[in-house]
């Protein structure tokens, strides 16, 4: 039997965690009793520098439930880094790994299907939504547009898949060799290339707490994904530059024609329009180039993607 490690990134989830840990703890205990997974399987909650009592809740459950344990990061490093931190901390203790968010909007029942698919030889099993009924119309359209854009620029992504997935030990080992700080795991994991499949489930509404991905963060995350995997935005700026040149040549010809016709007007408004248009293109171009330079700047510094302050998993196993 294999040791299952369920990695749960959590940021300010003190309201949701008690119910989440009860459900996940009961599931792991049931799977252990059914001899589907090893007795040393764990639910590992990664506290991503929460400002509330998330870590206190984790410590409390750890004292009363042998299945529940946790990792405490020194500060907030972000959702994707928290997942990597959890996988890194559990790598030497587990054989198969599942990542799932603390709000439990993802159906935990799919974990059993994931394990069944893994038993058939799949190294990576993605959890995909079978519908987006719980989303607003705007979120449905924006998500669809995002997947289309990512596909268009050549990024391998599984539609309707977030960070709910199962990974074998060897796939996690290879994932951890990806050292970039600009993490977009939904795009990185498919590049590993091991046998994979997908299980589908119905996503639920969040029962308690508030979402940690408002519109601003969602847009930022989407931009991170695009710029981390493609230079398409820079190519788009090039296209805009070429279009601008063509427009300016047309305007030049038009201006000459107006001059010959004797119909030019002092302070012609099109001059200002052209200046503002070209200035806008230049600013957009500088921003896009700066975005990539900034990413290179962050990467070459080589700073750690996370810092673990407390590791209850290691402490618990060391005591044994």
Between 95 and 230, where is the model more confident? 95
Q: Confirm whether 27 is domain-assigned.
A: yes
Mean pLDDT along residues 181-202: 89
At residue 208, the pLDDT reads 63
CATH no. for residue 310? 3.90.550.10
Those residues whose C-beta lies under 8 Å from the C-beta of residue 173, and which sit 6 or more positions away, are 91
At residue 55, the pLDDT reads 96
Same domain, 136 and 285: no
**Structural domain range at position 244:** 232-301
Total tally of structural domains belonging to the chain: 2
Same domain, 151 and 297: no
Same domain, 171 and 190: yes
Give me the phi and psi of 182, to 5 degrees please. -80, 80
Spell out a b/e string for 116-136, using b for 16 or more CB atoms within 10 Å of the CB, else e.
ebbeeebbbbbbbbeeeeeee
Count Cβ atoms below 10 Å from residue 276 Cβ, excluding itself.
Answer: 10
Same domain, 126 and 254: no
Same domain, 70 and 147: yes
Please report which confidence band the pLDDT of residue 75 belongs to, taking 50, 70 and 90 as the band edges.
very high
At residue 265, the pLDDT reads 60
User: Highest mean pLDDT: which of 9-13, 182-186, 241-245?
Assistant: 9-13
Same domain, 155 and 256: no
At residue 259, the pLDDT reads 64
At residue 40, the pLDDT reads 94
Mean pLDDT along residues 287-297: 74
Those residues whose C-beta lies under 8 Å from the C-beta of residue 201, and which sit 6 or more positions away, are 106, 107, 109, 110, 127, 128, 129, 130
Same domain, 179 and 279: no
Same domain, 160 and 95: yes
Q: Confirm whether 256 is domain-assigned.
A: yes
Between 204 and 93, where is the model more confident? 93
Q: Confirm whether 37 is domain-assigned.
A: yes
At residue 153, the pLDDT reads 63
Same domain, 59 and 198: yes
Q: Confirm whether 226 is domain-assigned.
A: no
At residue 269, the pLDDT reads 47
Does the pLDDT of residue 100 top 70, yes or no? yes
At residue 59, the pLDDT reads 95
Q: Confirm whether 49 is domain-assigned.
A: yes
- Residue-wise pLDDT tens digits, 273-284: 567 667 767 767
Mean pLDDT along residues 202-215: 65
At residue 155, the pLDDT reads 66
Sheet of strand 124-129, all strands in order from the earlier edge strand to the far edge: 196-201, 124-129, 161-168, 96-99, 4-10, 42-47, 68-73, 308-311
At residue 206, the pLDDT reads 61
Same domain, 11 and 160: yes
At residue 77, the pLDDT reads 92
Between 292 and 17, where is the model more confident? 17
Same domain, 311 and 279: no
Among 51-60, 125-134, 265-274, where is mean pLDDT lowest?
265-274
Mean pLDDT along residues 26-45: 95
Does the pLDDT of residue 295 top 60, yes or no? yes
Instruction: Give the H/E segment covering residue 310.
Output: strand 308-311
At residue 235, the pLDDT reads 65
Q: Confirm whether 124 is domain-assigned.
A: yes
Among 168-172, 173-177, 227-231, 256-260, where is mean pLDDT lowest?
227-231
User: How far apart are the C-alpha atoms of 148 and 217, rounded to whole Å?
Assistant: 20
pTM over 0.85: no
Per-chain mean pLDDT for the chain: 82
At residue 3, the pLDDT reads 96
Q: Confirm whether 216 is domain-assigned.
A: no
Same domain, 22 and 157: yes
Q: Confirm whether 97 is domain-assigned.
A: yes
């Amino acid at each position: 039997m294999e040791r299952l490690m369920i990695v749960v990134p959590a940021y300010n989830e003190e309201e949701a965690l008690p119910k989440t840990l009860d459900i996940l703890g009961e599931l792991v205990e049931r799977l252990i009793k059914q001899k589907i997974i090893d007795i040393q399987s764990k639910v590992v909650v990664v506290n991503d520098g929460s400002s509330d009592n998330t870590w206190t809740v984790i410590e409390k459950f750890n004292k009363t439930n042998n299945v529940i344990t946790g990792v405490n990061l020194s500060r907030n490093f972000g959702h994707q880094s928290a997942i990597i931190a959890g996988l890194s901390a559990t790598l030497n203790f587990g054989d198969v790994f599942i990542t799932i968010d603390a709000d439990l909007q993802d159906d935990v029942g799919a974990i059993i299907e994931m394990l069944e698919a893994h038993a058939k030889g799949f190294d990576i099993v993605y959890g995909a939504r079978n519908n987006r009924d719980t989303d607003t119309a705007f979120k449905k359209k924006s998500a669809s547009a995002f997947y289309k854009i990512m596909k268009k620029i050549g990024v391998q992504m599984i539609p309707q898949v977030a960070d709910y997935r199962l990974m074998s030990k060897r796939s996690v080992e290879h994932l951890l060799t990806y050292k970039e700080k600009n993490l977009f795991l939904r795009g990185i994991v498919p590049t590993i290339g091991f046998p994979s499949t997908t299980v589908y489930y119905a996503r639920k509404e969040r029962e308690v707490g508030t979402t940690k991905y408002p519109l601003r963060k969602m847009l930022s995350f989407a931009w991170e994904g695009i710029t981390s995997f493609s230079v398409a935005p820079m190519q788009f700026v090039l296209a805009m530059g070429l279009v601008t040149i063509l427009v300016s040549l047309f305007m030049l010809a038009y201006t000459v024609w107006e001059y010959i016709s004797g119909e030019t007007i002092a302070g012609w408004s099109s001059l200002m329009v052209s200046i503002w248009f070209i200035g806008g293109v230049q600013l957009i171009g500088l921003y896009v180039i700066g975005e990539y330079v900034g990413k290179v700047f962050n990467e070459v510094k080589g700073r750690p993607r996370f810092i673990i302050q407390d590791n209850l998993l290691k402490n618990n196993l060391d005591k044994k």
